[in-house]
Amino acid sequence: MRVNSKDYRTIWMEGGSVFLIEQNLLPFEFKIVELKTCVESCNAIKTMLVRGAIAIEAAAGYAMAQAFMEAPRDDKGEYVDRAKKNIESTRPTARNLFYAVDRVYNAGRKSDNPVSAVVAAVGEMVEESVVATRRIGEIGAELIRDGMKIETHCNAGWLACVDWGTALSPMYMAHRAGKKIFVYVDETRPRGQGARLTAWELNNEGVPHKIIPDNAGAYLMSKNEVDFMIVGADRIATNGDTANKIGTLEKAIVAKKYGVPFYIAAPLSTFDLNCKTGTDIKIEERGEDEVLYQVGVDDQGALRKVLVCSPGSRAINPGFDVTPADLITGIITEKGIVRASREEIKKLFV
């Protein structure tokens, strides 16, 4: 995608280093970070320098590749096995992370030239994700009519992937095709991925939009101001139950109440065929400081972290919730749109 007249991907690899856009600084500062080791890449995932299911997929795959590059010559696999566990512990909810780690790890373990094998495997995986998210955009754009008002939650755009996005990709395609659309961007507390990242992306793309408080969606839907809602996903169970950023469940319930179509956009790598229902999905509990504090810029443009809650109060901070399949109108994948049901999801993997 384009930033200041230059095309970027969210994350890429050169030699043994991983390069990524530092998302914690956006939208106030655009900065590329170099991660030279597997440990640095793990830390970037954990601290959300890189975030979003598909971008995490790429970061985890690159980290696994770095581990093979770093392993001592006389190592019998212990180094990469420890690295694998460390990568998997960074963000437990995102299915894509585990998909990437397994794919790259298995490629390296089965080869007599593991470094070459993992570099090839992660490169192939990343390119597949770019093709998949572009295809999701093309398929999803067919659902978007001229003049539609669309709501989205969190950031499931270019920054959440390697390129294009999941939930935002159909909007980009529709906009580039000349359709007049308007996007309501949920702020997405506590980290504000909507207000900070999705709005920044839409600004760069020239898509008309407004940021709304998380608790304004029901009001707008009740006034027939939302025609369509589309969000991303971090893990999809085989029955269609879907884990996504906390607050997604509330939106789905309200959308069902007011007859607003509610779609999930996700590539096949987000589906967990070993996960029968949403109750099997582990929900990440993040630190309470994300709720108690906010980060922004002061009048001089300096980033500041400030307490925004009652001093001495504690907080809980689940990172995700699970939307039951019966609240989901459909799932947009690179293979087409399917109902959120075990039977239709099974067809995707035949």
Q: Which residues are known to be catalytic?
A: 234
**Other CB atoms closer than 10 Å to residue 297's CB: what's the count?**
12
What's the DSSP call for residue 271?
B
Name 300's Cβ contacts closer than 8 Å, sequence gap at least 6: none
117: its two tokens: 């094998």
Please tell me the distance from the alpha carbon of residue 126 to that of residue 307, in angstroms, as a whole number: 39
Question: Is the preceding peptide bond at 261 cis, omega within 30 degrees of 0?
Answer: no
Cα 265–chain centre separation: 10
Contact 100, 64 (CB under 8 A): yes
- Rounded distance, CA 113 to CA 151, Å? 48
- Contact call for residues 165 and 156 (beta carbons, < 8 A): yes
3-class state of residue 140 by DSSP? helix
CB 30 within 8 A of CB 192: no
